[in-house]
Amino acid sequence: MTERVSLYNEIHKGLRSQLLGLLIECGRTDPGDRDAVAALGVRLRALRGMLEEHAAHEDRWVEPLLAELRADIAEALSADHARIDGAIPTLEVAFTRWEEAAEDEQVTMGRLAYGALSSFVGAYLTHMGREEDEAMPVLQAAMTDEQLLEVSAQLRGAIPPPRMAEYISIMLPAMNIEERTQMFAGLKANAPREVLDGMCELASGVLATSDWSAVRNRVGL
Ligand SMILES: [Fe+2]
């Protein structure tokens, strides 16, 4: 069975990996270790930037297509985005309280921040599932894979290359070998040599040696 092109699969895998990785790290961090708590705060704020940008990309590139086909789904997903945007500052406040907590409050504030992050991750996972299960089939039924790839290319083309490299760095380790192979086969066939070389360098930095050589073998790089 041939898989249809999805606008969500790869970036959502990357975001899931970051959200769940942060939640796990948050759960096992010593609540009294100020450096470790500050490091969690840095990760949370970096992830916040990506989540906000990602929602803006979807609102700009995907929502108008969906609105023409299924206005109800487009509106529900926009409402999700607004709800998530509203929840992020609350989450950040919980982390700031933990970072700034007096010694006798660190355990409690750490537990509250972990709980807030867990609820947020749950809501975000549900939202991504809705996009994949409700929106993507509508788009796939109305559009060819070529048209979907064109939308994906426009969206990715609007992201500055250094920022795109950051997205790829979280996506590649979260993807499976089929997806990595497809990505690099496409780059080998269509991208300028320097882009392919840059992506290979990036992949060798974020993937385990054996994982990256498996992709290179399959693609012939
Ligand atoms: Fe979304």
CA 140 to ligand 1 center in whole angstroms: 17
Spacing, Cα 25 to ligand 1 middle (Å) = 24
Domain assignment present for 132: yes
pLDDT of residue 1 exceeding 90, the answer is no
- Give residue 86's pLDDT: 92
Residue 183's pLDDT is what? 95
Question: Into how many domains does the chain fold?
Answer: 1
H or E stretch at 151? helix 145-157
pLDDT category of residue 146 using cuts at 50, 70 and 90 = very high
**Mean pLDDT of the residues in the chain:** 96
Residue 206 lies in a domain: no
Task: Please tell me the predicted confidence (pLDDT) of residue 150.
Answer: 94
Give the other-Cβ count within 10 Å of 136's Cβ.
Answer: 20
Express each pLDDT in 166-177 by its tens digit.
999 999 999 999
Does residue 20 form part of some domain?
A: yes
In a domain, 203, yes or no: no
pLDDT for residue 221? 93
Summarize pLDDT for 37-85 with one digit per residue, the tens.
Answer: 999 999 999 999 999 999 999 999 999 999 999 999 999 999 999 999 9
Q: Domain of residue 92: give its range.
A: 9-143
Q: How far is the CA of 16 from the centre of ligand 1 (A)?
A: 12
Question: Rounded to 5, what percent of the chain is helix, strand, coil?
Answer: 85, 0, 15
- Res 2: pLDDT: 85
Rounded average pLDDT over 202-207 = 97
What's the 210 CA to ligand 1 centre distance in angstroms?
33
Give Cα 138 to chain centroid, integer Å: 22
Residue 207 resides in a domain: no
pLDDT average, residue stretch 119-140: 97
Span from the CA of 158 to the centroid of ligand 1 (angstroms): 17
Residue-wise burial string across 159-186, b where 16 or more C-beta atoms lie within 10 A, e elsewhere: eeeeeebbbbebbbbbbeeebbbbbbee
CATH number at residue 94: 1.20.120.520
To which residue do tokens 């704020």 refer? 45
| CA of 126 relative to ligand 1 center, distance in Å | 10
Tell whether 175 is covered by a domain.
no
Is residue 215 domain-resident?
no
